[in-house]
Amino acid sequence: MKKYSQTYNLAKILLPALVIVLMLSAVPVLAISVSGAKYMGNISPGEVAVHTMTVGIGPGEDPTDVQVEVMGFGQSMDKGYTTLDPANDLSSYTARPFITLDKNTLHLEPGTTQNINANITLPKNVGAGGRYAIIYIHALPGAGKSFTTAVIVPVLITDSGTALVETGSITNLDVSDVTIGQPITVTTTLQNTGNYHYYRTVNEVLVTDASGNTIATNSTPPSVYAIIPGNTVGFIIQPDIKNLPLGTYTVNSKVLLEDGRVLDNKTTTFAVKTVYIPPVTESSIKLTPGSAGTLVSPDGRYTVLFPQGSVLGDVVVTLKPYSRDKLQPAPAGATTGATSFEISGLSGLLSKDATVRVTYSADDLAAAGGDPSKMKLSYYDTAKNEWTMLPTQVNTQDMTLTTTTNHLSVWAVMIPSSAATAVPTKAPLPVVVSVGALIAAAIVSCCFTRHRK
CATH classification of the domain holding 43: 2.60.40.10
Local structure of residue 132 (DSSP, 8 states): E
Distances (CA, A) of 356 to 83, 292, 302: 47, 14, 8
Crossing angle of helices 2-25/435-452, nearest 10°?
150
Among residues 127, 159, 191, which one ends one of the domains?
159
Mean pLDDT of 36-40: 95
234 and 260, same domain (yes or no): yes
Please enumerate in sequence order all residues whose Cβ is within 8 A of that of 9, keeping only pairs 6 or more positions apart, or say none. Answer: none
Domain limit, last residue, from 129, 159, 189: 159
pLDDT value at residue 453? 42
| Buried-exposed string 265-291: b where 16+ CB fall within 10 A, e elsewhere | ebeeebebeeebbbbbeeeebebeeee
Element (H, E) at 117: strand 113-121
Same domain, 295 and 402: yes
Q: Is residue 178 part of a domain?
A: yes
Rounded alpha-carbon distances, angstroms, from residue 224 to 70, 178, 298, 324, 373: 23, 30, 35, 28, 49
The gap from C-alpha 336 to its chain's centroid, in whole angstroms, comes to 21
Q: How far apart are CA 72 and CA 91, in angstroms?
A: 8
Q: Mention every residue, 6+ apart, whose C-beta is less than 8 A from residue 61.
A: 30, 31, 108, 110, 111
The answer on 288 and 258 residing in a single domain is no
- Residues 150, 174, single domain; the answer is no
Q: What is the DSSP string of 345-397?
A: S-SS--SS-EEEEEE--HHHHHHTTT-GGG-EEEEEETTTTEEEEPP-EEETT
Query: Residue 264's Cα: distance from chain center in Å?
Result: 29
Structural domain span for residue 409:
283-415
Taking 70 as the threshold, does the pLDDT of residue 331 lie above it? yes
Compute the mean pLDDT over every residue in the chain, rounded to the nearest whole number: 86
360 or 440, greater pLDDT: 360
pLDDT band with cut points at 50, 70 and 90 for residue 442: very low
| In a domain? residue 311 | yes
Residue where a domain terminates, one of 159, 177, 194: 159
pTM: 0.76
Query: What percent of the residues of the chain are helix, what percent strand, and what percent coil, each to the nearest 5?
Result: 15, 45, 45
What's residue 93's pLDDT?
96
Residues 328 and 400 in one domain: yes
Percent of the chain with pLDDT over 70: 84
Mean pLDDT of 15-29: 40
Q: What is the pLDDT of residues 48-99, one digit of tens each?
A: 999 999 999 999 888 989 999 999 999 999 999 999 999 999 999 999 999 9
